[in-house]
Amino acid sequence: MSLFEEKSLLREKLGYNFLLFLVVALFCVFAVRLWYLQVYKADYFFEKAQDNVQRRQLVYAPRGLFQDRDGRLLAVNEPSYSLALVREDTPDIDRTLKQISRWTNIPLEQIRAEFERGRDMVRSFEKQVLVSNLSYELLTRVETEVPYWPGVKIMVQPRRKYPQGEVLSHVLGYVAQASEEELKRDPGLRLGDNVGKHGLELTMEQTLRGTKGLKQQEVDAAGRVLREQVLQYPESGQNVQLSIDLDLQKHIYSQMQGKSGAVVVLDADTGQVRALVSTPGYDNNKFVFGISHADWRDLIEDPHRPLRNRTIQNAYPPGSVFKPVMAALGLEEGFDPEEEIFCRARYRLGNRVFRCWHHHGDVDMSKALVQSCDTYFYKLARKLGVDKMSPFAKKSGLGKPTGINLPHERAGIIPDRDWKLRNVGEAWRGGDNLNMVIGQGFVQTTPLQMAVFTAALTNGGTLYRPSLLLEEKKLDPQPLPWQEETLDFIYQAMVDTVEKERGTARRLRTRDVEVGGKTGTAQVVRLMPEHEDDELEAVDYWFRHHGWMISTARKGDENYAVATLVEHGGSGSGAAGPVVKSIYDYLFSSEKAAQEDLP
């Protein structure tokens, strides 16, 4: 064999070996890949294959209901319908979003934005809600076309409804769709879930929210459900029964129409809230599926601030309803309640004159409370001073939250020397004592605080944490820092304020009921001397005084405490008095008794 032939044969052999090596290498690669897919990743691809045949879907759990003390429903769940999208079943997402926009008349940009916002928050083959709360007319029209749009689903979701609307808006609050932050913070939430945003819906979220169930569905290649099986049944949220008397709440709300203010009625012996009214209210149903921009603008631009719960979120100068606290301090410090001073309707401190609303003449402590004489308390304040007044008021339940189960409660203000220096940048002065003792100056309290304090006057001297739940009574009892003789004196002075001819709360007299009261007129701004005696209508609304009244009522086993505040209402007797009187007429009327006797 020639050298040329040998080299040619060698090249053929090398080529054959290389080809063989290449075939073996490719075979090894395929073998390894096959092992990786069939063995190492077998479970993963089995699950993925199963997803194309079997899917798991969450089942919504009904939210717990609210009831009043007699079992009447205050918040219920109704079925609502939503349009959702399963991305994996949708061949042309952009075209489908355009069709949803045409169905609903919602701008395409808004539909796309909702889709993009939620696409990373839903799992594979999970429904993503794009449009909630479909009208029945739209539902009927869409339902006939949905079968021609793969991936589009109609979902049934529970919708919260508040039958009483604004009457209980500040008590119940409302639910709305969970925000992105809430979804990230709470693993139990899914896109489109409603959560409590305000009121008891917020503070009792974990009690009211149920546990979702789980069902397994078998679907065909088009995503149509062939059969399904419930793997875990949903558990409903717990129902909550409130201490609120719905009829009383509605009655008070009607009495407060046209007024901005707050009314609290407590069962004085238990601390339970029988009514908690803030006016104006708002329709909490509008928030459930997203309030419109127009409605939201109307609410936030309303000068009367309907979204604020005035019973706990607004703090006001208490005016003369603060005087019982200061009179009690005087008694505890050993002041003689029978000692008289002379009221000339003016009291001078240095070069400043402090006014009293009337020329009372000789007054002792009882008469000063009954007729609301400021001059008596001016002189009392000069002897007491802020270093005694401030701690005593705080120990009497003021200047701190009551602890009611509602969000955003304010503490109010009971000032002292440090407070003024820190917040105003000035030292405490003698005139500050005179303002403080009559509930003016820097002093601020909430209507609920005054109701809790008033309840202690008629229940034997115990401050209870107020409760909105029927099952909760006498929470966190704290005694007033008063001797029994002090408590009896203040309580009797309040009764005399109703029963005596010159008492400022005499309009509250109610047959066969022991009623006590104290009026208060809280100055909003200091009027010029020439306008101090103007008629109410002649003063600009925002400059008018606030009208206060705190009151107690006892009859048999019934023992109530009421605090009422009417913003810019003028006098306590003229503005708040008629509201309180209507409450007692309702509570102790024969008609009310007849209703309670019905089976």
- The pLDDT tens digits of the residues spanning 117-162 come to 877 777 777 888 888 888 888 888 888 888 889 888 888 888 899 9
Q: Roughly what angle, to the nearest 10 degrees, separates helices 386-395 and 323-332?
A: 110
- Give the span between the Cα atoms of 237 and 298, in whole angstroms: 33
SS (H, E, C) 161-182: ECCCHHHHHHHHCEEEECCHHH
Cis peptide preceding 280, ω within 30 of 0 = yes
- Give the span between the Cα atoms of 280 and 308, in whole angstroms: 9
- Res 189 pLDDT > 50: yes
Q: Model confidence at 534, in pLDDT bands (50, 70, 90)?
A: low
pLDDT value at residue 88: 83
Q: Model confidence at 451, in pLDDT bands (50, 70, 90)?
A: very high
- Give the span between the Cα atoms of 588 and 272, in whole angstroms: 18
pLDDT digits (tens, 9 = 90+) for 206-218: 999 988 888 777 7
pLDDT value at residue 591: 46
Q: What is the mean pLDDT of residues 327-347?
A: 94
Give the residue with greater pLDDT, 530 vs 539: 539
What are the backbone dihedrals phi and psi of residue 19, each rounded to the nearest 5 degrees, phi first? -65, -40
Q: What is the mean pLDDT of residues 403-412?
A: 97
- Res 592 pLDDT > 70: no
- Give the span between the Cα atoms of 311 and 449, in whole angstroms: 9
Strand pairing class (261-267; 152-161): unpaired
pLDDT value at residue 165: 94
Closest CA to 319 of 445, 429, 424: 445
41-50, 107-116, 374-383: which is most confident: 374-383
- Give the span between the Cα atoms of 416 and 436, in whole angstroms: 10
Q: What is the mean pLDDT of residues 304-309?
A: 96
Give the residue with greater pLDDT, 44 vs 305: 305
Q: Model confidence at 17, in pLDDT bands (50, 70, 90)?
A: low
pLDDT value at residue 220: 64
Give the residue with greater pLDDT, 580 vs 140: 580
- Give the span between the Cα atoms of 394 and 384, in whole angstroms: 15
Tracing tokens 């500050």 back to the chain, one arrives at 432
- Give the span between the Cα atoms of 178 and 184, in whole angstroms: 10
- Give the span between the Cα atoms of 329 and 492, in whole angstroms: 16
Q: What is the mean pLDDT of residues 438-466?
A: 97
23-27, 92-96, 380-384: which is most confident: 380-384
Strand pairing class (174-177; 152-161): unpaired
Q: What is the pTM of this model?
A: 0.84
DSSP string, 79-138: EEEEEEE-GGG-S-HHHHHHHHHHHHT--HHHHHHHHHHHGGGS-TT--EEEE-S--HHH
pLDDT value at residue 147: 87
pLDDT digits (tens, 9 = 90+) for 287-302: 998 888 899 999 999 9
Tracing tokens 């994996």 back to the chain, one arrives at 88
- Which long-range contacts link 491-500 to residues 24+ away (Cβ below 8 Å)? 491/457, 491/458, 491/516, 491/552, 492/366, 493/324, 493/327, 493/365, 493/366, 493/369, 493/370, 494/324, 494/369, 494/457, 494/518, 494/551, 494/552, 496/366, 496/369, 496/370, 497/369, 497/370, 498/551, 500/370
pLDDT value at residue 559: 97
In contact, 312 and 563? CB cutoff 8 Å? no
> Which architecture characterizes domain 308-597 according to CATH?
3-Layer(aba) Sandwich (3.40)
pLDDT value at residue 40: 67
Residue 312 DSSP label: T
pLDDT digits (tens, 9 = 90+) for 228-245: 777 888 888 999 999 999
Residue 65's CB: how many other CB atoms inside 10 A? 18
pLDDT value at residue 530: 47
- Res 270 pLDDT > 70: yes
In contact, 352 and 298? CB cutoff 8 Å? no
pLDDT value at residue 529: 52
In contact, 333 and 481? CB cutoff 8 Å? no
What is the number of alpha carbons within 13 Å of residue 418 lying toward its C-beta? Answer: 3
SS (H, E, C) 408-445: CCCCCECCCHHHHHHHCCCCCCHHHHHHHHCCCCCCEE
Residue 441 token pair? 């100056």
- Res 308 pLDDT > 70: yes
Q: What is the mean pLDDT of residues 510-531?
A: 80
pLDDT value at residue 597: 44
- Res 320 pLDDT > 70: yes
Q: Model confidence at 594, in pLDDT bands (50, 70, 90)?
A: very low
Q: What is the mean pLDDT of residues 373-379?
A: 94
Q: What is the mean pLDDT of residues 412-437?
A: 96
For the chain, the straight-line distance linking the first and the last C-alpha, in angstroms and rounded, comes to 123
Secondary-structure breakdown of the chain: helix, strand, coil percentages, each rounded to the nearest 5: 45, 25, 35
- Res 252 pLDDT > 80: yes
- Res 526 pLDDT > 90: no
DSSP H/E element including 35: helix 3-35
Q: What are the distances in angstroms from CA 362 to CA 124, 153, 339, 340, 492?
A: 84, 81, 10, 6, 20
- Give the span between the Cα atoms of 158 and 138, in whole angstroms: 18
pLDDT value at residue 264: 98
Residue 160 DSSP label: E
pLDDT value at residue 528: 47
pLDDT value at residue 239: 96
Closest CA to 157 of 229, 83, 103, 100: 83
- The mean of the pLDDT values for the chain is 88
Residues 6+ apart with CB under 8 A from 410: 312, 313, 314, 315, 401, 446
Q: What is the mean pLDDT of residues 541-548?
A: 87
Domain segments of the chain as ranges: 55-241, 308-597
Q: What is the mean pLDDT of residues 78-98?
A: 88
Q: Model confidence at 488, in pLDDT bands (50, 70, 90)?
A: very high
The verdict on domain 55-241 having CATH code 2.60.40.420 is no
pLDDT value at residue 1: 54
Q: What is the mean pLDDT of residues 348-366?
A: 89
Residue 489 token pair? 């004196």
Count of all residues that appear for the chain in the document: 599
Give the residue with greater pLDDT, 246 vs 26: 246
pLDDT value at residue 531: 46
pLDDT digits (tens, 9 = 90+) for 198-208: 999 999 999 99
- Res 335 pLDDT > 90: yes
